[in-house]
Amino acid sequence: MSDSLFRARVRAALADETLHVALGRATAQLQARRATAFASLQDPAAVRARARAGKLAALRTLDLQLEEFERRLVANGITVHWARDAEEACATIVAIATSRGCRRAVKGKSMASEEIELNAALEAAGVEVVESDLGEYVVQLDRDRPSHIILPILHRTREQVGRIFERELGVDWTPDPAALARIARERLRERFLAADLGITGANFGVVETGTLCIVSNEGNVRMSSSLPRVHVALLGIDKLVPTQDDLDAALQVLARSATGQQSTVYVSLVNGPRRRADATPPEEGPDEVHVVLLDHGRTRTLAGETAEMLACIRCGACLNACPVFQQVGGHAYGSIYPGPMGSVLTPTMRGLADHAELPQASSLCGACKEACPVGIDLPRLLLALRRATVAEQPIAPTLRLALRAWAFVMARPRLLRLLRRVARVVAPHLARRGWLRRAPGLLSGWTAHRDLPLPAAQSFDEWWATRR
Amino acid sequence: MSAERPLAGDLAREPRPRVVQLFPTCLVNELVPEVGRAAVELLERAGVAVELPAGLACCGQPAWNAGFVAEAKAVARGTIERLAATQGPIVVPSGSCGDMLVHQMLELFRDEPRLAATARVVASRVVELTQFLAAVAGTFHLAAVPGSFRPAVSRGADAGVDGNSPAPGETGTSPPPGRTRVAYHPSCHLVRGLGVGGEPVELLRRVAGVELVPLEKSEECCGFGGLFSVKQPELSGAMLDAKCRALEASGADVVASCDSGCLLHLAGGLARRGSSIRTCHVAELLAAALPSAPPPLSQAPASPPAAAPPP
Ligand code: SF4
C-alpha cells in the first residue's frame, strides 16, 4: 500500500462521524476497565514481568521449544502439521476437512485464520464456515473485516449492528445488545449441532505439557473445540510458553489487558482427543485433534531487530491506548493487525516494501509501550523500521533533501546564524499577525492544520551575548 | 526511569551544583527565546550560575525520529561533544530533547564506541528544567503571577508588534481578576520518556494566582510528534483537534507545558481555531511569578528564605 493510499484511508476514517463515536466510546471504556483490573493485582509489575519472561524464554530457544511442543502434542494424541505460509496452512486444513468428509465448520475467533484467509479457502472447497464469536459473526454477515484484534466490530455502533441483522437475517431492527446476542445465539446453536469440523485459534501452547489454551467470553470456543468430531487449532509459532506457571502469568495479564476482566469467562485447555468413544458416561470431545503450526513470516520478525515483537500476546491494549488508533480505527491501517502492534508485525512478517507507511503512523508518544502487559518497546521497534525504510526503500526525495539540508545547517552554527538573518527579512512579508498561514514544501503539511510562527526577532543566543 | 538516574537523585542532596550548562534546544533558541530567558532567570534565582556552551544547535531528534541516521548523527555528534567538554548538570527546557539526550543518543551511536561513551557521559548529566527546579525549589521564592498574565505565544512580542493579541472577533471568557486558569499538558517524552510527572505541577501549585484546571485525557499525545506533524498532517491534525477541544472544555486561559514543540503545535492549532487560549512554557509562567526585585546573584540564599512556602 502506498503512502497516499494510506493517507486516503485515514482521511476517509476521519470523515466518518459514526466511526468516531463508536471508537471514542469503546476505547475509553476499555482503557478505564483495564486500569481497574490491574489495580486488583497486588503487584502488577511483577506479574507483567513474569508474563514477559515466559514469552521471551520461549522465543530465545524457539526451535527447540517447538520440537518439544510437537513431541508433547503427539504424545497427547494430537496430529501436528507445519505450515510455512498461508497457502500451506489453507491446503492442510482443507485436506483435513475433505479427507474426513467434513462439510460444515464452526469457527472460534482466530486472527491467524484471518491472516491466511481460511474461510475463503474452505468455502472454495465446498466446506461451509460459520463464525461463532459474536463479533466475528457480525463481520461475516456484513462481509466486513475485523477492525480490532479482540473486538472485531469495535468500529460499529450497536445501532449499525441492528441494521446488519435486520438486513441479513430478516429480523426486526433493535439496538439492544442483549437482544442482538440472543438472535445470534439462536442461529448459531443450529450450526453448532450440525457442525462436523471445529476450527479455533489458540492463545497459548504450553510446551511442558503439550496443552493448547484458548480463552473466550462466550463459550463458543469450548463448543467449537468439543462438539464437532474433528477439531483443528491453528496457531502461530510465536504462541508458545514453556511452562504452566508461564501460562498462569500470561492469562492474568491477558484478561486484564484485553477486556479489563480479572479472568476470561472460559479458559479451555485442550489436551487431545477424547480417549475412548465407548466410555460410559460418554467422554466429551472430538475424535481427532489437529494442530497447525503457522510461520507465515514470523521467522522473519524473529530474525530482525524486531524479534521482541513476537512476545505479543494479542491483548489489544496498545490499540486502545494509541491516539492514532482512537482517531481512525483499525481499517485505516489496511493491515490484519492494526494499531502499534500491527505497524510492527505486518511490515516485518509481510515485508517492509508493501507496508512502509505503517511505521510512520505513530507520533511515538509511548502510550502503547506503557499499556503493553509484556513490556514490548513498540516505539523503539517502530523507529527501527523507520530506519530500515530510509535505508532500503525509496523515500520521497523532497524529504531526504530537506533533512540533508537541515542537517547541513544545524551542524554549522555560523551558517545557521546567517540563514536566521535572511529568514527575519523574508518571513514577515508572508505573515499575518505574527503567524504564517501557508508555507511551501514540507512545511505545508504543518500549515494545513496550524499556523507557523516566525523566527524570533532576537534569538536566545543573541540575547545571551548582549548580557555579557 | 529518571528517578533512578544518579543525577536526578543527587540534586535533592547537598551540596547542590553551583554551575549548570543550559542546552536551550533549537526551538527555544530560534522561535521562543523567552523560554530560554525564563529558564536563566529561574536558575539564577535558585542560586545557580548558568553557562551556555558555545556552538550548540539541535540534538538531532527530527532526523532520528524519521529514521534518518546519518543526518541525525551529523547534527548530534557536535552537540554531545560540545556538551561533554563542559562540567556540571546539563539543564534542558524540553522533555523530548531531554529524552533524546538521555535515551536515544545511546541507540543512535551504538555502533560507534567512542561517541557512545561520550553520549553515556552526557546522558548521565542531563536533567530536565522542571526536574532541576523542583529539586532545588527550596532555594528560590515564587510569589504570584500578575493578575493579567498573558504569555507571549507569537513572535514579534519583543518588537512591540501586536502579534500576540487576540484576533478580532475572538471569543472566550476572561479570567476573574487576579487568577489565571492553567491547564497543564504533560508532554509524552517528558512523562513516558523521562518519567517526569509531578514536578511541573508541584512547581505550578506554588504560584499564587494560578488555578490549575483538570484537563480530560491530559496524558494523551497532542499529535505533534516532530516530523509526524508534517508527514502525517491528517492524523496529527485530528489529534490536535481532540486536544484543542479538551482544552476548550477545561475552561483554561493558558495551557502550559515543558515542550516547546508541543506548544507551538498547540498554539498554531488554537490560533487557527480562533481560540483565546494562550500557550506558555512552564518556565515562563514560573518566571512571571518571581518577585520583581531579585537579590543579586552573589547574595542568593543558599538555604530557603523564611518567606518561601514549604515545597
Ligand atoms: S503489543 Fe503488547 S499491548 Fe499490543 S497487543 Fe501485543 S501484547 Fe497487547
- In this prediction, residues B168-178 reach a mean pLDDT of 45
Asked whether residue A148 is domain-assigned, the answer is: yes
Question: Would you place residue B106 in the very low, low, confident or very high pLDDT band (cuts 50, 70, 90)?
Answer: very high
Domain count, chain A: 2
Rg from Cα positions in chain A: 26
- In this prediction, residues A220-241 reach a mean pLDDT of 93
Average pLDDT value over all residues in chain A: 93
Percent of chain A with pLDDT over 70: 98
Boundary residue ending a domain (A254, A271, A296): A296
Asked whether residue A24 is domain-assigned, the answer is: no
Residue A448's pLDDT is what?
A: 80
Asked whether residue A308 is domain-assigned, the answer is: no
Among the ranges given (A300-304, B171-175, B262-266), the one the predictor scored with the smallest mean pLDDT:
B171-175
Q: Can you read off the three cell numbers belonging to residue B249?
A: 472544555
Q: What is the CATH number of domain B140-288?
A: 3.40.50.1860
C-beta separation of A438 from B223 below 8 A: no
Cα B207 → chain centroid: 17
Asked whether residue A233 is domain-assigned, the answer is: yes
Phi, psi of B201 (to 5 degrees): -65, -45
Asked whether residue A14 is domain-assigned, the answer is: no
Atom number of ligand 1 nearest to Cα A321? 3
Q: What is the ipTM for the molecules in this complex?
A: 0.91
Asked whether residue A147 is domain-assigned, the answer is: yes
The answer for A 340-399 residues in CB contact with B (under 8 A) is 360-367, 369-370, 380, 383, 385-391, 399
- In this prediction, residues A35-47 reach a mean pLDDT of 94
Residue A121's pLDDT is what?
A: 98
Per-residue pLDDT tens over the stretch A408-435: 999 998 898 889 888 888 877 877 777 7
Helices (H) and strands (E) in chain A, counts: 22, 12
- Among B30, B61, B240, the residue to mutate for chain A (most A Cβ within 10 A): B30
Query: What is B168-192 written as a DSSP string?
Result: TT---PPPPTT-EEEEEE--HIIII
Cα A24 → chain centroid: 18
List CB contacts of A330: < 8 A, sequence separation 6 or more: A146, A147, A148, A154, A155, A319, A338, A339
Atom number of ligand 1 nearest to Cα A368? 3
Phi, psi of B208 (to 5 degrees): -70, 145
Could you tell me where in chain B the CATH 3.40.50.1860 domains are found?
140-288
Among the ranges given (A15-24, A350-359, B118-127, B172-181), the one the predictor scored with the smallest mean pLDDT:
B172-181
Q: For residues A153 and A283, state if they share a domain.
A: yes
Q: For residues A406 and A264, state if they share a domain.
A: no
Boundary residue ending a domain (A275, A296, A317): A296
Q: What distance in Å separates residue B227's CA from the closest CA in chain A?
A: 9
Asked whether residue A339 is domain-assigned, the answer is: no
- Per CB-CB distance under 8 Å, the chain A contacts of B157 are 434
Domain of residue A438, residue span: 401-467
Q: Whose CA is closest to atom 7 on ligand 1? A: A312
Residue B301's pLDDT is what?
A: 42
Q: Is the pLDDT of residue B110 over 90?
A: yes
CATH class of B2-134: alpha beta
Phi, psi of A452 (to 5 degrees): -115, 130
**Which has more confidence, A333 or B18?**
A333
Cα A241 → chain centroid: 19
Residue B164's pLDDT is what?
A: 39
d(CA A238, CA A395): 32
- Per CB-CB distance under 8 Å, the chain B contacts of A386 are 65-67
- In this prediction, residues A237-243 reach a mean pLDDT of 98
C-beta separation of A181 from A134 below 8 A: yes
d(CA B99, CA A439): 29
Question: Would you place residue B14 in the very low, low, confident or very high pLDDT band (cuts 50, 70, 90)?
Answer: low
Longest dimension (CA), chain B: 58
Q: Which amino acid, one-letter code, is at B61?
A: Q
Torsion sign across C-alpha atoms B301, B126, B6, A372: positive
d(CA B63, CA B59): 10
Residue B157's pLDDT is what?
A: 32
Residue A277's pLDDT is what?
A: 60
| Residue among B298, B160, B128, B33 at smallest CA distance from A465 | B33
CATH number at residue A126: 3.40.50.10420
Q: Could you count the other beta carbons within 10 Å of the beta carbon of residue A64?
A: 11
Per-residue pLDDT tens over the stretch B114-167: 999 999 999 999 999 999 999 887 777 887 777 667 665 543 333 333 333 333
C-beta separation of B99 from B191 below 8 A: no
Per-residue pLDDT tens over the stretch A52-106: 999 999 999 999 999 999 999 999 999 999 999 999 999 999 999 999 999 999 9
Q: Can you read off the three cell numbers belonging to residue B7?
A: 543525577
- In this prediction, residues A146-155 reach a mean pLDDT of 95
Mutation pick for ligand 1 pocket among A30, A374, A377 (CB with most ligand atoms within 8 Å): A374
Contacts 24+ apart (CB under 8 A), A60-65: A62/A237, A62/A240, A62/A302, A65/A207, A65/A240, A65/A242
Q: Whose CA is closest to atom 2 on ligand 1? A: A372
